[in-house]
Amino acid sequence: MTELSVPVLTVIIFLPIIAAVLILLLPRSQKDLVRGIALTTALACFFLGLVVYTTYNGEVASLAQEQAQILSQDTNTDATQAFEATLAFEDQVEWLPQLGISYHVAVDGLNAPMVLLTGMVFVAGVLVSWKVEDRTREFFAFFLLLVAGVYGVFVAMDLFVLFFFYELAIFPMYLLIATYGWVKLREYAAMKLTLYILIGSVIALIGAIAMVLTASNYFQSPEGAVVFQEAISSGLLPANSQPFSFSIPQLTLAAENGAFNVINYAGIDGLTFAKLWFPAIFIGFAVLAGLFPFHNWSPDGHVAAPTAVSMIHAGVLMKLGAYAALRAGVQLLPGGAEVHLPWIVILATVNVIYGAFIAFRQRDFKYVIGFSSVSHMGLVSLGWATMNLTGFTGAGLQMFSHGVMTALFFGCVGMVYDRAHTRDIPSLGGFVKVMPWVAFAFILASLASMGMPGFSGFIAELPIFMGLFEASPVVTLQVANTTLSNYYSIIAIIAILGVVITAAYVLRVTGQVFFGEFNREKYPDVGDITARERFVLIFLGSPLIILGVMPAIMAPMLQVGVAPVLAMLGGGT
């Protein structure tokens, strides 16, 4: 793997933090300078992310080969080796060696697209917030901190660092929504969102501590010590590793060797650590991905937030939940995933269908998009639940595709709302005549959203459904004494209905808002958007088509990213 001479990921994380501090130190009146610094930072982070992505993408073919070769050996460390082999741009500094915590960041095939996505939404978010006049300094400073936290979670290769950045991101988000959001709802929504997400994450944090402790006990047991020593001597773990460590590769090694599958955990018959803690960790993070019935914060949060925060939130933060659920849940506790994902899949299906139905019923433009995010994130959870390559790849693509798409949606809604000052769908109409660019972008996003071939949504959703069918003969669910099998195909059929409902509601909204008669008397001041906003629409709209036409720029990378997780699921027991 080619490495750059600068620790590029660290720069990506800390650049926004430094910029935020700098912005806070500026005088209050220097609003344009503040905006300039924010935009420069966003562009710099985006380009660095792009460099990371393209560099990594250039190596994917050779990585895939290397990985296949490692996995074919079928040793007790092959999944961990395959995982470590895909890590690039690594940067590791000891932070708290006594507790096995180190600042360790890297990208693999799974999070490199997320870094790119964050950069895109970052740039778009700064541009759509250009007109924030009330405490501009604070707005951009908090926004930059939020983005720094998001970057940190995506690239963290240490479980503690992951939690650190996860919680770091929550607070600026609270303030942004509560201070700059929609007056009617912002305090309630911001508080609800913050508490929901933090409850999930702190329970997962206790789970993570317990996991590290269990792994440490394993590495100190006679059989585990052998594995540990071999891993150190073969270079799989750094020479100064210790058994008690939050390092994700090391925990992966423990998981692969069955450290979390020791039966009679906590003295209960047949219980393993993985079985007990998987729901806490997976669902703890999936709260942020809007998993039913913990999705309640999400529509309110999205509607209440200012446009840029909605974009970051639905576009990136919900992916953060899904990503962390896979990384800390499925990858580290595969034994639990095999037991619990077969019922979590039902929750995800409810997400898809229920979210879409509720979206259909909304009169508020922004709520439609809010609930559509719940529905679409359900597809990501469905993808994780397939536990096979097709489904995982689809879910990864869906994360990127939905991130860009929903950011574009929220951007469009924000541009309409800024000028019409209402989001009530029946009272809008004919906006294509005054805002053709927005109408075009919205239709583009709608097409992607309903999974039209040629757009990224199709490329993402099709593999998820295929994955469900593929998984159907394999996955079984034990409820009391009955064994449920082959029900994944039914789930797939139900979930596909969600796509139909999606088509119905996006078309309805498009028709009512953008077409029909435009009422000039009601909206005397509504005019076309500025060049800055056009750029946002083009910037976010183009990936939907590019990815739809050329999925090969992302799919192989994701496959490299998920292969180790799959190897854990297959051979981790």
Partner 1 sequence: MQEFDLMASLPSIAPIIGLSILMVVVLTLDVFLPESQRRSLAFVTALGMLATAGLSFFLWAPTAATEGLYWGGMIRYDMLALIFQVIVLIGGALTAMQALDVPYLARRGEFFVVLIVATLGGVVLAGAADLIMIFLGLETLTIPLYIVATFKRDDAKSAEAGMKYFLYGAFASGILLYGFSLLYGFTGQTNIYLIAEYLQSPQFAANLIPMLFVIVLILVGFGFKISAAPFHFWTPDVYEGSPTPVTAFLSVASKAASFALLLRFGLAVFPPTLFLDGQQVSAYWTNIAAVLAVATMTVGNLLALAQKNIKRLLAYSSIAQAGYVLIGVAALASPVAQQEAVTSVIFYLAMYTFTNMLAFGIVILFANATGSENIADMAGMSRRSPWLALGMTIALLSLAGVPPAAGFFGKFFLFNAAVQADLTWLALLGVLWSIVALYYYLVVIKVMYVDHGQNEDQPIAVQRPTVWALSLTAVAIILLGTFAVQAIYQLAAQGAASLFGAG
Separation of alpha carbons 380 and 363, rounded Å: 26
Question: Which span sits near partner 1 by CB under 8 A: 43-51, 53-61, 134-142, 489-497?
Answer: 134-142
Question: Which span sits near partner 1 by CB under 8 A: 51-59, 201-209, 429-437, 485-493?
Answer: 201-209
Question: Which span sits near partner 1 by CB under 8 A: 51-59, 171-179, 416-424, 485-493?
Answer: 171-179
User: Contact between 198 and partner 1 (CB under 8 A)?
Assistant: yes
| Cβ atoms within 10 Å, residue 72 | 8
User: Contact between 174 and partner 1 (CB under 8 A)?
Assistant: yes
Report the nearest approach of partner 1 to the CB of residue 366 (Å).
Answer: 20
Near partner 1 by CB under 8 A: residue from 31, 104, 186, 423: 186
Near partner 1 by CB under 8 A: residue from 1, 44, 130, 135: 135
Question: Which span sits near partner 1 by CB under 8 A: 159-167, 331-339, 419-427, 439-447?
Answer: 159-167
Question: Which span sits near partner 1 by CB under 8 A: 164-172, 337-345, 386-394, 418-426?
Answer: 164-172
List Cβ neighbours of 180 (8 Å cut-off, separation of 6 or more).
132, 134, 139, 186, 306, 309
Place of tokens 């009530």: 424
**What DSSP designation does 157 have?**
-
- 168/466 with CB nearer partner 1: 168
Residues 196/296, Cβ–Cβ less than 8 Å:
yes
Separation of alpha carbons 237 and 481, rounded Å: 43
Separation of alpha carbons 173 and 342, rounded Å: 33
User: Contact between 210 and partner 1 (CB under 8 A)?
Assistant: yes
- 209/497 with CB nearer partner 1: 209
Question: Which span sits near partner 1 by CB under 8 A: 132-140, 425-433, 434-442, 481-489?
Answer: 132-140
Say if residue 505 is exposed, middle or buried (CB neighbours under 10 Å; 0-12, 13-18, 19+): buried
User: Contact between 164 and partner 1 (CB under 8 A)?
Assistant: yes
Q: Could you give the dihedral angle defined by the CA atoms of residues 354, 356, 360 and 363, in that order, rounded to the nearest 10 degrees?
A: 90
**What DSSP designation does 486 have?**
S
- 21/552 with CB nearer partner 1: 21
**What DSSP designation does 158 have?**
B
User: Contact between 500 and partner 1 (CB under 8 A)?
Assistant: no
Q: Which of 260, 263, 337 is nearest to 570 (CA)?
A: 337
Report the nearest approach of partner 1 to the CB of residue 139 (Å).
Answer: 11
Question: Which span sits near partner 1 by CB under 8 A: 33-41, 131-139, 446-454, 524-532?
Answer: 131-139
Report the nearest approach of partner 1 to the CB of residue 390 (Å).
Answer: 37
Near partner 1 by CB under 8 A: residue from 171, 357, 487, 535: 171
Near partner 1 by CB under 8 A: residue from 28, 363, 520, 522: 28
**What residues between 453 and 492 interact with partner 1 by CB under 8 A?**
none
Question: Which span sits near partner 1 by CB under 8 A: 207-215, 345-353, 468-476, 540-548?
Answer: 207-215
User: How distant is the alpha carbon of residue 276 from its chain centre?
Assistant: 25
Near partner 1 by CB under 8 A: residue from 202, 226, 500, 538: 202
- Binders of partner 1: how many residues, by CB under 8 A? 37
Near partner 1 by CB under 8 A: residue from 6, 195, 225, 493: 195
Residues 561/554, Cβ–Cβ less than 8 Å:
no
User: How distant is the alpha carbon of residue 263 from its chain centre?
Assistant: 33
Report the nearest approach of partner 1 to the CB of residue 73 (Å).
Answer: 36
Residues 45/18, Cβ–Cβ less than 8 Å:
no
Report the nearest approach of partner 1 to the CB of residue 202 (Å).
Answer: 4
**What residues between 213 and 252 interact with partner 1 by CB under 8 A?**
213
Burial of 161-178, coded b for 16+ CB within 10 Å and e otherwise, reads bbbbbbbbbbebbbbbbb
Of the CA atoms within 13 Å of residue 259, those in its CB half-sphere come to: 29
Report the nearest approach of partner 1 to the CB of residue 136 (Å).
Answer: 12
User: How distant is the alpha carbon of residue 206 from its chain centre?
Assistant: 22
Residues 471/571, Cβ–Cβ less than 8 Å:
no
Separation of alpha carbons 403 and 313, rounded Å: 9
Report the nearest approach of partner 1 to the CB of residue 133 (Å).
Answer: 13
List Cβ neighbours of 73 (8 Å cut-off, separation of 6 or more).
none
Residues 525/381, Cβ–Cβ less than 8 Å:
no
- 76/242 with CB nearer partner 1: 242
User: Contact between 199 and partner 1 (CB under 8 A)?
Assistant: yes
Report the nearest approach of partner 1 to the CB of residue 67 (Å).
Answer: 34
What is the bridge-based pairing of β-strands 101-107 and 482-485? Answer: unpaired
Report the nearest approach of partner 1 to the CB of residue 270 (Å).
Answer: 19
> How far lies 172's CA from each of 9, 202, 322, in Å?
21, 18, 20
Report the nearest approach of partner 1 to the CB of residue 225 (Å).
Answer: 17
Site track 73-112 with partner 1 (rule: CB under 8 A), x = hit: ---------------------xxxxxx-------------
**548-554 LR contacts (CB < 8 Å, sep 24+):** 548/448, 548/453, 548/454, 548/455, 548/456, 548/457, 548/458, 548/459, 549/454, 551/397, 551/456, 551/459, 553/57, 554/57, 554/113, 554/396, 554/397, 554/400
Task: Give the SS3 label for residue 434.
Answer: coil
User: Contact between 132 and partner 1 (CB under 8 A)?
Assistant: no
Residues 402/373, Cβ–Cβ less than 8 Å:
yes
Report the nearest approach of partner 1 to the CB of residue 200 (Å).
Answer: 10
Near partner 1 by CB under 8 A: residue from 10, 76, 92, 179: 179
Report the nearest approach of partner 1 to the CB of residue 99 (Å).
Answer: 7
- 98/481 with CB nearer partner 1: 98
**What DSSP designation does 523 have?**
-
- 52/190 with CB nearer partner 1: 190
Give the interface with partner 1 as residue ranges (CB under 8 A): 24, 28, 94-99, 135, 137-138, 160, 164-165, 167-168, 170-171, 174-175, 178-179, 186-187, 190-191, 194-195, 198-199, 202-203, 205-206, 209-210, 213
